[in-house]
Chains A and B, each alone.
Chain A
Amino acid sequence: QKEVEQDPGPLSVPEGAIVSLNCTYSNSAFQYFMWYRQYSRKGPELLMYTYSSGNKEDGRFTAQVDKSSKYISLFIRDSQPSDSATYLCAMSAVASGGSYIPTFGRGTSLIVHP
């Protein structure tokens, strides 16, 4: 079992839909959770960064962490064609040697069609 599981998709939705992207993980030590957006052939862009359980909202994006279920989500409201990209989850804990190197999911490809 991989440490971080993420469905690669593609997930295809109509413009204006609410999108739900998810990751599950097995390492209960993960404390920091991130979502990145990556357009084709570009570098990942940090969207959301959360610590421990709970919700965090930023504009049309809401990140949700449920540590008891080892499950994180990213919701996108009023999705736009410009949201079409690959969304990577990442999470980190204090590893051996005290480093906080993130572990990435494989990414979910999102397509928002007009």
Chain B
Amino acid sequence: DTEVTQTPKHLVMGMTNKKSLKCEQHMGHRAMYWYKQKAKKPPELMFVYSYEKLSINESVPSRFSPECPNSSLLNLHLHALQPEDSALYLCASSQRGLREGENEQFFGPGTRLTVL
């Protein structure tokens, strides 16, 4: 298995809803990432887990809550989002841990989130 999978592909939620995005990889990668991407913009880093520990949190609002249950799974819990949070949410993984050397990232297909 050489890919990163994400579910759901699309998600529409109201501002009072609670939902979760899921990401999975079975390549034995040690670092996993959440990015947010708006149309015609580059991906913006949100969180990084390295060896299942949260290593980087790019000052993301608390309405986004990441979780890494094990080395293959990454979740992003969403609560009380705003319409401006509508975007493509991308998960990525890389072979080495965050501080172990060069680290090309492999991206999943993304979850298209719309907040009404």
A positions within 8 Å CB-CB of B = 8, 31-32, 34, 36, 41-46, 49, 51, 88, 92, 97-102, 104-107, 109
Contacts and interface: CB of A to CB of B under 8 A. Distances in A.
Contacts of A88: 42-43
Contacts of A49: 104
A42 B41 contact: no
A106 B38 CA distance: 11
A6 to B, nearest CB: 8
A54 to B, nearest CB: 15
Contacts of B42: 88, 104-107
The secondary structure that dominates the B interface is loop
Contacts of A36: 107
Given A99-B99, A104-B43, A106-B41, A46 B104 contact: yes
Contact of B102 (A8, A32, A97): A32
A101 B99 contact: no
Q: Looking at B42, B45, B88, which has the most chain A CB atoms within 10 Å of its CB?
A: B42
Contacts of A42: 109-110
A88 B55 CA distance: 25
Nearest to B10: A41
Given A104-B42, A106-B41, A43 B103 contact: no
A105 B44 CA distance: 11
B45 A101 contact: yes
Given A43-B108, A44-B107, A100 B40 contact: no
Contacts of A41: 88, 110, 112
B12 interface: no
